[in-house]
């Protein structure tokens, strides 16, 4: 109980400094407070609330023929995990779909390759890979054409979003930049998160990577790196947060904005 109280005090201090030090130096935690915050991820998570978050996955067609289970980051883009138990002329359709990402500028981005990941003999689940030289402006929908020439447009509500009135945080994409250690052959995970932050307040704010945490399935908080920005009232910025190298055992579960005590759930993105 004492640990939870100390974590709450440290978090409230971050929030206080965040609102009081707009357009000033970023918050500098003392040694004790910094270690209290870093070591008490579980207690902190209990105190946090997910505000206005979008839990989108799985996405599905209205008739249930196609389901998108989630998005998986790759080195140069992402893959969509797609399920369909239906057949056409005796063949399963899941590995034989024509899948396009449609962005906010109505560009059709075709999948580059398909990989069957279903149980042997079922062929009802497949990964569709998309590569990007640069991030899409914004994914608007997924366009799927079946072997029977049926065309579906699945609205992309897969962009996680959290807001509490003061700040709005959106996640547009995740890039896997993990590397394998040449000596131990252990693959240490590392990710880049493309986010959009909107300052909904009437006053300016200092946006610092110190305000973000990446939480894994054990509620352990990892730091991130990014630029600092002085956001004007009602101004938005879309930029990249890079995680530190994380344990091979860790699986990102949430991206947390500490001053406002809310987190975006990453379920379906891994």
**Residue positions counted in the chain:** 270
- Establish if 20 belongs to a structural domain: yes
Torsion of CA 247, 251, 257, 259, to 10 degrees: -60
* Same domain assignment for residues 45 and 170: yes
Please say which residue of 155, 174, 201 terminates a domain. Answer: 155
Is the predicted pLDDT of residue 175 greater than 90, yes or no? no
Token output for 174:
């995740």
- Note the pLDDT of residue 173: 77
The helix/strand/coil state of 188 is strand
Is the predicted pLDDT of residue 54 greater than 80, yes or no? no
Please say which residue of 155, 185, 218 terminates a domain. Answer: 155
Mean pLDDT, the chain, rounded, equals: 78
pLDDT in tens, 72-85: 878 778 899 999 99
Q: Are the C-beta atoms of residues 247 and 217 closer than 8 Å to each other?
A: no
Look up tokens 């040449």; give the residue: 182
Q: How far is it between the farthest Cα atoms of the chain?
A: 67
* Same domain assignment for residues 191 and 227: yes
Q: At what angle do helices 2-20 and 31-39 cross, to 10 degrees?
A: 120
Confidence class for position 221, pLDDT limits 50, 70, 90: very high
Phi/psi of residue 187, each to 5°? -95, 105
Report the C-alpha gap between 99 and 115 in whole angstroms. 13
Token output for 116:
């069957």
- 246 is in which domain, residue-wise? 2-51+159-265
**Nearest alpha-carbon partner for 256 in 173, 177, 193:** 193
Report the C-alpha gap between 268 and 260 in whole angstroms. 24
Is the predicted pLDDT of residue 19 greater than 70, yes or no? no
* Same domain assignment for residues 251 and 173: yes
Token output for 151:
């065309």
* Same domain assignment for residues 107 and 119: yes
Report the C-alpha gap between 244 and 226 in whole angstroms. 11
Confidence class for position 48, pLDDT limits 50, 70, 90: very low
pLDDT in tens, 114-153: 999 998 888 899 999 998 765 555 788 999 999 999 999 9
Q: Are the C-beta atoms of residues 173 and 135 closer than 8 Å to each other?
A: yes
* Same domain assignment for residues 163 and 150: no
Is the predicted pLDDT of residue 5 greater than 80, yes or no? no
**Nearest alpha-carbon partner for 96 in 67, 64, 70, 123:** 123
* pTM, to two decimals: 0.58
Query: What's the structural domain count of the chain?
Result: 2
CATH number at 188 reads 2.60.40.1240
Please say which residue of 124, 140, 155 terminates a domain. Answer: 155
Query: How are beta strands 161-163 and 98-103 bridged, if at all?
Result: unpaired
Residues 6+ apart with CB under 8 A from 152: 61, 65, 66, 143, 144, 145, 146
The DSSP letter of residue 246 is: B
The helix/strand/coil state of 42 is helix
């Amino acid at each position: 109980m004492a640990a939870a109280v100390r974590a709450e005090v440290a978090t409230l201090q971050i929030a206080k400094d965040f609102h009081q030090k707009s357009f000033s130096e970023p918050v500098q935690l003392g040694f004790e407070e910094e270690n209290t915050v870093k070591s008490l991820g579980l207690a902190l998570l209990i105190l946090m609330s997910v505000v206005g978050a979008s839990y989108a996955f799985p996405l599905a067609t209205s008739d249930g023929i196609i389901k998108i289970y989630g998005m998986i980051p790759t080195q140069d883009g992402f893959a969509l995990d797609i399920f369909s138990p239906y057949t056409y002329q005796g063949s399963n359709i899941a590995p034989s779909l024509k899948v396009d990402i449609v962005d906010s500028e109505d560009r059709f981005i075709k999948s580059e390759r398909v990989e069957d990941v279903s149980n042997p003999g079922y062929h009802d689940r497949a990964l569709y890979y998309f590569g990007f030289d640069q991030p899409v402006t914004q994914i608007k929908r997924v366009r799927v054409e079946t072997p029977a020439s049926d065309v579906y447009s699945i609205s992309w509500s897969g962009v996680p979003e959290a807001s509490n009135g003061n700040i709005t945080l959106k996640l547009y994409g995740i890039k896997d930049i993990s590397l394998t250690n040449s000596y131990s052959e252990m693959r240490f995970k590392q990710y880049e998160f493309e986010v959009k932050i909107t300052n909904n307040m009437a006053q300016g704010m200092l946006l610092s990577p110190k305000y973000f945490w990446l939480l894994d399935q054990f509620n352990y908080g990892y730091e991130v790196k990014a630029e600092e920005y002085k956001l004007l009232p009602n101004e938005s910025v879309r930029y990249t947060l890079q995680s530190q190298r994380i344990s091979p055992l860790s699986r990102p579960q949430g991206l947390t904005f500490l001053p406002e005590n809310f987190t975006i759930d990453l379920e379906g993105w891994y």
